[in-house]
Amino acid sequence: MTNTKDSDREYLKKVKEKSEDDFEKNITYISAGALGVSMTFIEKIVNLPKAIQLWLLVTAWGFLTLTLLINLLSHYLSSFFHDKTIDDLDNENSNINKNIDARNKRLRKINIGTIITLISGIILLIIFLSINIYYMSDKNQKNQATTESKIQDSPNYEKRGRTITKPSTTYSGTKPSTSDTTQQSTDNKK
């Protein structure tokens, strides 16, 4: 029974290590991807010179960059803590378990920090995009309404639809005489 328990424990340790590795990689991929994509395509979505609340974008980029830096620090500390644990083993330190627990607690706090900065960066980026997309579309609608109003108010504006087209020449209200029509038909024959 002890053998099964030990093999289960080893299996769970391997699964945990794999999960932690995947977590670190995913944090890196997500934050770097969000940072890279937003820097590359932000101008195609939002007109930056006319954008409002730019501090949201800068802060979002700051959080995403901070996520990458904290994750890098986490990798470094993890390696450093493993070296310390190996030293504790070699020196037969009686507080090895307490030291390992304290080191793991630090790493967990750092990992929580990366989650918080990643989520904060993504939320701020979404808020920035939402505000500016709404602002730009609202501004475009107002500009379009103003342009249409200016066109309708201009003297050259011609209404479309069920209206009667005005003739290009004005008539005096009298019918042309028969001699005029005869003259026109003779002119046309020549």
Cβ proximity of 71 and 28 under 8 Å: yes
Closest to 39 measured CA to CA, from 57, 59, 25: 57
pLDDT at residue 172 tops 80: no
What are the tens digits of pLDDT across the range 81-101?
999 999 998 999 899 999 999
What are the tens digits of pLDDT across the range 9-37?
788 888 888 888 898 899 999 999 999 99
What are the tens digits of pLDDT across the range 115-157?
999 999 999 999 999 999 888 887 667 666 666 666 555 555 5
DSSP tag of 94: T
What are the tens digits of pLDDT across the range 44-74?
888 888 889 999 999 999 999 999 999 999 9
SS3 helix, strand, coil % of the chain, rounded to 5? 80, 0, 20
Q: Could you count the other beta carbons within 10 Å of the beta carbon of residue 162? A: 5
**C-alpha 103: how far from chain center:** 36
Domain ranges of the chain: 24-138
Residue 92 DSSP SS3? coil
Q: Could you count the other beta carbons within 10 Å of the beta carbon of residue 35? A: 19
Give dist(CA 11, CA 15) in Å, integer.
6
Closest to 128 measured CA to CA, from 48, 36, 33, 32: 48
Instruction: Please list, in sequence order, all residues whose beta carbon lies within 8 angstroms of the beta carbon of residue 123, skipping any fewer than 6 positions away.
Output: 60
Specify the pLDDT at position 144: 65
Cβ proximity of 45 and 51 under 8 Å: no
pTM for this structure?
0.67
Cβ proximity of 98 and 17 under 8 Å: no
pLDDT at residue 161 tops 70: no
Name the pLDDT band for 183 (thresholds 50, 70, 90). low
